[in-house]
Amino acid sequence: MRCARLIWFLLVGAVTGIAPQGAQAQATFTRPIRILVPVAPGGTTDLTARLVANVIGASLGQPVVIENKPGATGRLAAEALKHAPADGSTFLLAPIVVTVLAPLVFRDLHYDPAKDFAPVAQVARYPFALAVRPDHPARTVRELVALAKASPSHATFGTPGAGGVPHLLGVMVARESGVELVHVSYRSLTQVESELMGGQIAAAISAIAEFLELHRAGRLRIIATSGMVRSPLLPEVPTFVEQGFPRVTAVGWNAIYSPAGTPKPLIDRFSVAIVSALRTPEIRDKLTNLGLEPTGTTPEELAAIIAADTARWSPIVSAAGFAADGRKP
């Protein structure tokens, strides 16, 4: 199944360009548009969807509404997209876990991104962050690892869902340092932050944007970020690479999809509307302040990104021996 999925995305990625302007002009959205979001209102993914929706509605000639479908690490929203009509009325804005990681860690996934979805556009990229309580004695990753080796109470880390990039980053740190870390999965980021600040878990990993304001307010402390270079929003915080973990790197992203079978002119017009919105200074500035790097791609470029990241994460998941539904990969 993985080989077939990779082949499909690579074949799609080999096609370049977008529909001619004439075809786009004939692509008319005849119904109000909804964008499914696999998280609760208020998070970075939700805010990204709302920022984009506020701009593209006018250019598409239809109102664009956000429908939140949190739960199951994005799988509920993904299944809703699978069963939605392929008429340009429904899209999904989702993080990398939905189309890249979920197929690798769930053996009984009820959707197949290669068969059920059509890539539309990548929206933004972002690094991840490792955070501890403000009063935690560890100031670096190595200090945190040393404490985890000495005491099980310091060996826990929480993330908003099993099988996502934050979870796998923790697995990578454990493998690189030779320490056994215990992953605690939560249904929401709010729970992660509450448990971290309450001392129920020693550390937490999530997108840098999710921890940024709490870090600035002194309610938690970010001690590492996952990019190859430091985040411009946190120039004082070193990366995992700088702290002696050269293979602990990861970049997440959000992207938009439509149900498979959606007419290509509609997909192309929606993609162009997204890219145009992301080029406006107002949207770029707002996303950047959220800790995101606005991108914007063609459907074909997004398909190639999915294929490349699937190839990158597949051996990592296999080496970790992790399967979210309890089966071996």
Q: Domain 2-126+253-320, what architecture?
A: 3-Layer(aba) Sandwich (3.40)
According to the model, what pLDDT value does residue 326 have?
54
Please compute the mean of the pLDDT values over residues 125-151 and round it to a whole number: 95
Alpha-carbon distance 306 to 171, whole Å? 22
Alpha helical stretches, state H, the chain: 2-13, 21-26, 44-60, 75-82, 96, 102-105, 113-116, 141-150, 165-177, 189-198, 208-216, 264-278, 281-289, 299-320
Least confident of 30-39, 85-94, 105-114: 105-114
pLDDT digits (tens, 9 = 90+) for 243-302: 999 999 999 999 999 999 999 999 999 999 999 999 999 999 999 988 899 999 999 999
Residues 127, 131, 134: CA angle, nearest 5 degrees: 145
**What is the sign, positive or negative, of the torsion defined by CA atoms of 175, 180, 185, 189?**
negative
More confidently predicted of 20 and 239 = 239
According to the model, what pLDDT value does residue 262 have?
97
More confidently predicted of 73 and 75 = 75
- Whether 11 has a pLDDT exceeding 50, the answer reads no
pTM: 0.82
Alpha-carbon distance 4 to 10, whole Å? 10
- Computed over every residue of the chain, the mean pLDDT equals 88
Domain spans of the chain, in order of start: 2-126+253-320, 127-225
According to the model, what pLDDT value does residue 278 have?
96
Q: Which CATH number fits domain 127-225: 3.40.50.720, 3.40.50.150, 3.40.50.80, 3.40.190.10?
A: 3.40.190.10
Decide: 168 and 313 in contact? Cβ < 8 Å.
yes
pLDDT digits (tens, 9 = 90+) for 180-215: 999 998 878 889 999 999 999 999 999 998 899 999
Same fold, 2-126+253-320 and 127-225: yes
- Whether 224 has a pLDDT exceeding 50, the answer reads yes
